[in-house]
């Protein structure tokens, strides 16, 4: 396990409100914490009072090249504490906006699980949309910060997936962490587009 205080090229923010009920993310969490070069924040354990240490989180992000958001999908989005983390840590003037460059050139990777099967994420399924339809908020968050949004790693049907499939998923995740940034699909990935926020879109008096 990596010393929490050492700079790490990979920072995993693992957000699960109830690890005891977890079948998939708990195993991914174990894989991340036992892989060299990976720093992991168990978000709900670290901030049970929702008092996120913004500067400490920003320092972890600055030290990382790959930022991983790892969580079960809840209401087509991320768990509440992770959303608060995004709201507070990715601040104006640091993560995005005039002159902000702290995250520019870094990579953001979503590693998520869903209860619904892949077939439910379909116009004819009960989730009515392909799963990709829920990704633009993540992708544009990355873009606004000058980050590349890497192809997400998603396990659908987390409750009913065969144990062997879950084990394979966890093993692929570990292998990905170990081999980053040498992933074949990254060669073809375009650099991030520039997204500048005009001053009139900010509260008066803020710079």
Q: In the complex, which residues of this chain contact ligand FMN (CB under 6 A)?
A: 16, 21-26, 72-76, 113-116, 158
Q: Quote the least distance from Cβ 38 to ligand FMN, whole Å.
A: 18
Residue 163 or 194: the one with the smaller Cβ distance to ligand FMN is: 163
Q: Quote the least distance from Cβ 197 to ligand FMN, whole Å.
A: 29
Q: Quote the least distance from Cβ 35 to ligand FMN, whole Å.
A: 18
For residue 201, how many C-alpha atoms fall within 13 Å in the half-sphere facing its CB? 8
Residue 76 or 92: the one with the smaller Cβ distance to ligand FMN is: 76
Residue 73 or 100: the one with the smaller Cβ distance to ligand FMN is: 73
Torsion of CA 174, 17, 86, 63, to 10 degrees: -40
Q: Are 60 and 52 in contact (CB under 8 A)?
A: no
Q: Quote the least distance from Cβ 148 to ligand FMN, whole Å.
A: 25
Q: Is 113 helix (H, G, I), strand (E, B) or coil?
A: strand
Residue among 108, 52, 109, 116 nearest 85 (CA): 52
- What's 202's DSSP letter? S
Q: How far is CA 174 from CA 17, 171, 201, in A?
A: 22, 5, 41
- Tokens read off for 70: 């790892």
Q: Where are the beta strands (DSSP E) in 82-135?
A: 107-113
Count of beta carbons in the 10 Å neighbourhood of residue 31: 22
Q: Quote the least distance from Cβ 139 to ligand FMN, whole Å.
A: 18
- Tokens read off for 49: 């009072």
Residue 10 or 170: the one with the smaller Cβ distance to ligand FMN is: 170
Residue 74 or 178: the one with the smaller Cβ distance to ligand FMN is: 74
Q: Quote the least distance from Cβ 27 to ligand FMN, whole Å.
A: 8
Q: Are 83 and 157 in contact (CB under 8 A)?
A: no
Residue 71 or 106: the one with the smaller Cβ distance to ligand FMN is: 71
């Amino acid at each position: 396990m990596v010393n929490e205080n050492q700079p790490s090229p990979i920072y995993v923010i693992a957000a699960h409100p109830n690890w005891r009920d977890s079948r998939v993310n708990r195993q991914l969490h174990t894989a991340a914490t036992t892989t060299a070069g990976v720093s992991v924040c168990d978000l709900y354990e670290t901030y049970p009072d929702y008092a996120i240490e913004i500067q400490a989180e920003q320092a972890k992000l600055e030290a990382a090249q790959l930022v991983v958001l790892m969580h079960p999908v809840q209401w087509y989005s991320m768990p509440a504490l992770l959303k608060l983390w995004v709201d507070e840590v990715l601040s104006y003037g640091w993560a995005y906006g005039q002159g902000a460059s702290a995250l520019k050139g870094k990579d953001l990777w979503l590693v998520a699980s869903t209860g619904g099967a892949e077939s439910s994420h379909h116009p004819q399924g009960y989730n009515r949309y392909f799963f990709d339809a829920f990704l633009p908020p993540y992708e544009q968050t990355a873009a606004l910060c000058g980050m590349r949004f890497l192809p997400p790693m998603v396990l659908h049907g987390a409750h009913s997936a065969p144990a062997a499939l879950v084990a394979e998923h966890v093993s692929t995740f570990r292998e990905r962490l170990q081999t980053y940034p040498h992933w074949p699909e990254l060669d073809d990935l375009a650099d991030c587009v520039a997204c500048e926020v005009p001053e009139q879109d900010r509260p008066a008096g803020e710079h």
